[in-house]
Structure 1
Amino acid sequence: MTAAADGRHSVSVAGVIVDDRGRVLLTQRADDGQWQAPGGVLELDEGITDGLRREVYEETGLTVEPVALTGVYKNMIKGVIALVFRCKPTGGQLTINDEVKGFHWAAPEEVPKMVTEAFAVRILDALRDGSPAIRQHDGVRLI
């Protein structure tokens, strides 16, 4: 049963890591080969930024500092609320693991070509200044 089917939501976090050249770090998922920003589901007993740092570290090997909340997104099919943050890397080293099979530092114009619409918009929103975006999607496309 999906989260939406049983009436409950889950909360995830994602970090859009931006380097000093304005590129963003994309991770290639091991399970389906899709490119995304690193992140995952918050555990019940952890704070939002602690969970963000944990998820990013687990998926990339990098330590990061959240700079700004850049968007709130809801997958209307799965009932997942995602909080997305622009982050700066502060240490660590990129490391392949069970969840991630590749990394790519992407220029903003590469993102829509590599990432599905629902996830590309999160990354591109994170590069904008201003108020956080609030969007809904079906897991692939904005709705």
Structure 2
Amino acid sequence: MGRRIDYYDDPNAPKANSLIPSVNVVVENDKGEILMIRRTDNDNWALPGGAIDLGESVTQAAIRETKEETGIDVEITGIVGIYSDPRHVIHYTSNNEVRQEFSVVLAARFISGSPTRSAESREVQWMVPRDTSSLQMDSSMHLRIKHYLEAHEAPIVI
């Protein structure tokens, strides 16, 4: 399996050669915990998410990706923001794709299911949001969680 390497504002980062719309989902349960995965491709903690497939909406992709990576069914409740900073690129070593960041981050509520690992997630856990600040994760994930917790009146657009 290839690896995922995130670069931010790094002059030594490879140049982007693709732009693929994706989603991340901040799922909250009735205890105020958020759903986190530990990725298999870089061992970092992250919000569930992935690429939007042709023929599906942003909402459909968010629901599908969350279920695939975590075993959890969700209902989308809002938008946190749109993250498209060209200084953030993601290198997938399996095919040498280098994506410019483009992620729609949605908020969701837990409906059903139990945290279940997948090929993309070595761990799946409900976490108290303040505990996520010490986890190994890309700075873009820390920022997305921070923006969610700040509950801005309008979506963030970067």
TM-score, normalisation: structure 2:
0.76
Could you tell me the percent identity over the aligned residues?
27
Letter in 1 for 2:147: D
Map of 1:36-55 to 2, 5 A cutoff? 36-55=46-65
Shift in Å, 1:75: 4.6
Quote the residue 1:58 is aligned against: 68
Equivalent position to 1:69, from 47, 54, 79: 79
Asked if 1:108 corresponds to 2:129, the answer is yes
Asked if 1:4 corresponds to 2:16, the answer is yes
Quote the residue 2:32 is aligned against: 22
Deviations 1:25-64 (A, max 9, x none): 1100112111000000001211110111111100011110
Runs of 4+ in 1 over 2 A off after TM superposition: 2-5
TM-score, normalisation: structure 1:
0.84
Q: Which runs of 5+ in 2 are unaligned?
A: 1-13, 90-98
The answer to whether the Cα contact below 8 Å between 2:115 and 2:125 also exists between their aligned partners in 1 is no
Letter in 2 for 1:35: W
Rounded to whole Å, the distance in 1 between the matches of 2:67 and 2:144 is 19
Count of aligned pairs: 132
Shift in Å, 1:3: 8.6
Letter in 1 for 2:52: L
Q: Which runs of 5+ in 1 are unaligned?
A: 136-143
Asked if 1:99 corresponds to 2:111, the answer is no
The answer to whether the Cα contact below 8 Å between 2:48 and 2:65 also exists between their aligned partners in 1 is yes
